[in-house]
C-alpha cells in the first residue's frame, strides 16, 4: 500500500519522466515544451496538495495529450511506449489512491461503529449497576422501615430483644448480642439490666469472663463513638475484653439520646459490610429504649406511691387477685401482712411532717430490702403497709413478718438534725386457712377478706403493746 507521504514522490517521478522525454522530442519548439509541461506541473501540484479525483483525471489527460501531440507532430513512434508507461503509472496511482481511500474510510467507519457500540455497552453497564445499586438501597430502606415499625410497637424491653433476634438472623446475621441498659438517674451505677440474645435463645445476661462490664460502661460514659474491633486490635481493648473468646469482628454501639448514653449494644460475628447498617439500627434502637423508659416511668407513676415507691392500693389489689387465682389453680398457699408504724401521729406532732415523710420513706426502704421480688408491697394507708407473700404458708409468713419487725426496730433514722427510731405492729392472715368460702374456685372478694382479717390481727397486736406480731387464727 502506498502511504500518503509517498504520493508526492510518485507523482513527481512521473512528471520528471515526461519532462525529460518532452525535452528531447520538443527541443525545436521551446514554447510548446513550456506550455505542455506547465500544464502538467500545475495539475501535479493540485494532485500533491489536494486529493481530488477530477484533478487526477485532468493530469492523466494532460500527459496523454502532450505525448500524442509529440508523436503526430514529430512522427516519433517510440513515444507511444513512453506515454503508455506514464499513463499506466498514473492510472495505477489513481486507482490505488481511490482504493486506499476507500479502505481507510471503511476502517475508520468500522472503528467509529466499534467505539459507538462500546460507548453504548458502557452506558448500558452503568445503567445496570445504577439500577442494582438503587434496588439494593431500596431493600435496605425497606428493611430499616420494617425494623423501625416493629420497634415502634414495643413497650417492653424483652419484646425488643425478640425483634433483634428475629430480624438479626433473617436479614443481618451475627453470632451473639448483648444489650446493657443504664439508669439515666444514677451517676455511679453498679447493677445493670442486661440481656443476651443469639440464634438459639435470648434472656437475661448475668455476665461471664469475656467482658469487663464496668470498664465498658465507664468507657462509654465518656466516649460516644462506635467501636469496630477485629482480632488484630483486640489487645488494644483489654479494658473491655477479658479474653479473646469472642467471634470477630466485634462491634460495640453506645445508644445515645441527647448526647447521653442510655444503653450499650454489643454484637459479635457480624457480616463484613453490615457495620453501617447496624449503626443506623442502633440509632433507632436508642430512641425506642428511651420511649420504653418513659413509658415505664409513666406506668410506675400511675401504680406506685410517689413518697415511698411502693404500689398504690388499686394496683396492689389487682395483683393480689392475680396471685390468689394462681394459688387456687396450682394449690399454692399464700400469706398477707398488714403493718402499721406505732404512734406515728405522735411522731409527726413531735418531729414535724417533713421528718415523718422521710421516716416513711426509710421504713418503705427497709420493707423492700426484706421482701422478695415476687412479693407484693403497697402503701395501704397513711402509715399503713400491706405485704403479700405468694407460695408461702403461715409459718413462712410469720418468719417474714418477724424479719421486717426486727429490721425496723433496730434502725436509727438520721433525719435533718434529728435522730429517731420507730417500731411496727404486724397482723398476719393466710390462705386458704383464713377464708370462709370454698377454696376450690376463685372468689373475687377473697383479697378484701384476707386484708380485713390481717387488719384485725394488726389491731390485736397494737392492743398487746405494739412492736409485735399477731396471726388471725390466734384471735
Identify the CATH number of the domain in which residue 352 sits.
Answer: 3.30.70.270
Alpha-carbon distance 5 to 93, whole Å? 13
- What is the pLDDT at residue 215? 82
In a domain, 252, yes or no: yes
Which of these three, 146, 172, 190, is where a domain ends? 146
Is position 99 within any domain?
A: yes
Question: Same domain for 219 and 119?
Answer: no
Residue 152 falls inside a structural domain? no
Report pLDDT for 469. Answer: 95
- Tell me: do 371 and 407 sit in the same domain: yes
- Whether residue 176 is contained in a domain is answered as yes
Residue 32 lies in a domain: yes
Q: Do 207 and 279 lie in a common domain?
A: yes
For residue 135, the model assigns a pLDDT of 75
Instruction: Mark which of 273, 303, 333 sits at the end of a domain.
Output: 303
259 shares a domain with 131 = no
CATH number at residue 257: 3.30.450.40
Residues 88 and 223 grouped into a single domain: no
If the chain, 475 residues long, is cut into consecutive pieces of 10 residues, what is the mean pLDDT of each piece? Answer: 47 53 50 54 52 54 58 51 55 58 67 81 78 72 73 81 67 83 72 79 75 83 84 73 77 88 88 84 88 85 90 93 93 95 93 92 95 94 94 94 95 88 95 87 91 95 93 89
Sign (positive or negative) of CA dihedral 185, 188, 192, 198: positive
- In this structure, is residue 308 part of a structural domain? no
- Count: domains in the chain: 3
Query: Are residues 242 and 324 both part of a single domain?
Result: no
Residues 17 and 69 grouped into a single domain? yes
pLDDT of residue 310: 93
Which of the listed residues 103, 124, 146 is the one where a domain comes to its end? 146
395 domain-assigned: yes
Domain that holds residue 365: 313-474
Whether residues 31 and 116 share a domain: the answer is: yes
Shared domain for 402 and 323, answered yes or no, is yes
pLDDT at 2: 42
What are 165's three cell numbers? 433476634
Same domain for 298 and 175, yes or no, is yes
Residues 14, 122 within the same domain: yes
User: Rounded to two decimals, what is the model's pTM?
Assistant: 0.58
Does residue 151 belong to any structural domain of this protein? no
Same domain, 396 and 296: no
Please, which residues have CB within 8 angstroms of residue 328's CB and are 6 or more apart in sequence?
439, 440, 441, 442
Amino acid at each position: 500500500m502506498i502511504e500518503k507521504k509517498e504520493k508526492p514522490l510518485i507523482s513527481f517521478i512521473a512528471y520528471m519522466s515526461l519532462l525529460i522525454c518532452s525535452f528531447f522530442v520538443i527541443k525545436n519548439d521551446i514554447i510548446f515544451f513550456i506550455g505542455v509541461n506547465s500544464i502538467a506541473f500545475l495539475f501535479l501540484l493540485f494532485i500533491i496538495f489536494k486529493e481530488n479525483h477530477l484533478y487526477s483525471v485532468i493530469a492523466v489527460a494532460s500527459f496523454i495529450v502532450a505525448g500524442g501531440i509529440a508523436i503526430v507532430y514529430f512522427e516519433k513512434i517510440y513515444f507511444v511506449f513512453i506515454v503508455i508507461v506514464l499513463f499506466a503509472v498514473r492510472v495505477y496511482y489513481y486507482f490505488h489512491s481511490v482504493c486506499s481511500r476507500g479502505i481507510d474510510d471503511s476502517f475508520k467507519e468500522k472503528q467509529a461503529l466499534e467505539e459507538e457500540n462500546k460507548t453504548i455497552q458502557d452506558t448500558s453497564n452503568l445503567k445496570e449497576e445504577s439500577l442494582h445499586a438503587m434496588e439494593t438501597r431500596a431493600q435496605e430502606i425497606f428493611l430499616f422501615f420494617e425494623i423501625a415499625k416493629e420497634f415502634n410497637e414495643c413497650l417492653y424491653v424483652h419484646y425488643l430483644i425478640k425483634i433483634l433476634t428475629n430480624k438479626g438472623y433473617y436479614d443481618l446475621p451475627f453470632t451473639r448480642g448483648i444489650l446493657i441498659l443504664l439508669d439515666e438517674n444514677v451517676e455511679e451505677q453498679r447493677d445493670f439490666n442486661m440481656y443476651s440474645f443469639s440464634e438459639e435463645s435470648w434472656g437475661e445476661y448475668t455476665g461471664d469472663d469475656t467482658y469487663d462490664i464496668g470498664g465498658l460502661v465507664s468507657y462509654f460514659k465518656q466516649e460516644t463513638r462506635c467501636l469496630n474491633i477485629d482480632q488484630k486490635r483486640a489487645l488494644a481493648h483489654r479494658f473491655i475484653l477479658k479474653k479473646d473468646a469472642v467471634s470477630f469482628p466485634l462491634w460495640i454501639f453506645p445508644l445515645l439520646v441527647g448526647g447521653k448514653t442510655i444503653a450499650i449494644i454489643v454484637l459479635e460475628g457480624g457480616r463484613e459490610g453490615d457495620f453501617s447498617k447496624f449503626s443506623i439500627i442502633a440509632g433507632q434502637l436508642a430512641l425506642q429504649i428511651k420511649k420504653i423508659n418513659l413509658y415505664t416511668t409513666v406506668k410506675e407513676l400511675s401504680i406506685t406511691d410517689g413518697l415511698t415507691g411502693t404500689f398504690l392500693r388499686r394496683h396492689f389489689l389487682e395483683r393480689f387477685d392475680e396471685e390468689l387465682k394462681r394459688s387456687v389453680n396450682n394449690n399454692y398457699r399464700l400469706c398477707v401482712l398488714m403493718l402499721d408504724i406505732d404512734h406515728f401521729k405522735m411522731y409527726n406532732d413531735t418531729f414535724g411532717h417533713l421528718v415523718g415523710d422521710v421516716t416513711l420513706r426509710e421504713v418503705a426502704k427497709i420493707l423492700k430490702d426484706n421482701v422478695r421480688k415476687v412479693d407484693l408491697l403497697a402503701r395501704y394507708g397513711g402509715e399503713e403497709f400491706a405485704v403479700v407473700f405468694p407460695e408461702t404458708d403461715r409459718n413462712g409468713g410469720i418468719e417474714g413478718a418477724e424479719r421486717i419487725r426486727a429490721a425496723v426496730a433496730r434502725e436509727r433514722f438520721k433525719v435533718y438534725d434529728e435522730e429517731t427510731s420507730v417500731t411496727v405492729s404486724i397482723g398476719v392472715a393466710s390462705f386458704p386457712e383464713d377464708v370462709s368460702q370454698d377454696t376450690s374456685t376463685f372468689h373475687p372478694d377473697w383479697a378484701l377478706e384476707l386484708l380485713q382479717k390481717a387488719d384485725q390481727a394488726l389491731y390485736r397486736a397494737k392492743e398487746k403493746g405494739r412492736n409485735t406480731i399477731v396471726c388471725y387464727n390466734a384471735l
